[in-house]
Amino acid sequence: MKHLATASLLALCLLAGTAPAAGQSNPPSAAKPMTGHAQQGHMDHGKMDGKTGEFAVLDANKDGKLSKAELAKHKLGPHFGMLDVNKNGTLSPDEFAEGKAM
């Protein structure tokens, strides 16, 4: 019975096209080269902050910081007071990134 289970598992792995056993490497793929967005590689859009990405979109007046009004419609808007660590009335890119990481 144990042999049958092992053989069944092996057959399922082969049908599913899973990676070879540990310690073996795959030969280089002959696939066509990537272009466009795929060529850029994986990007964690959740970590976009600073002068690019979500922070830049929210920074309507492009002064490099977010006011309470600029953050108002964002999901972090209600937490502005907590995110403004230095209590200067604006969020720096670092304060915004910290808030998103929470």
Q: Is residue 67 part of a domain?
A: yes
pTM of the model: 0.51
Q: Is residue 93 part of a domain?
A: yes
Give yes or no for residue 10 having a pLDDT over 70.
no
Q: Is residue 18 part of a domain?
A: no
Q: Is residue 56 part of a domain?
A: yes
3-state SS assignment for residue 90: strand
pLDDT at 102: 87
pLDDT at 74: 94
Nearest residue to 92 (alpha-carbon basis) of 45, 47, 50, 48: 50
The C-alpha torsion from 60 through 56 and 80 to 45, rounded to 10°, is: 150
Domain that holds residue 73: 46-101
Residue type, 12: L
pLDDT at 43: 44
Nearest residue to 59 (alpha-carbon basis) of 28, 86, 95, 33: 95
pLDDT at 79: 96
Domain at 69, CATH number: 1.10.238.10
Question: Tens digits of per-residue pLDDT, 29-75?
Answer: 555 555 554 445 444 444 444 456 999 999 999 999 999 999 999 99
Q: Is residue 57 part of a domain?
A: yes
Q: How many domains are contained in the chain?
A: 1
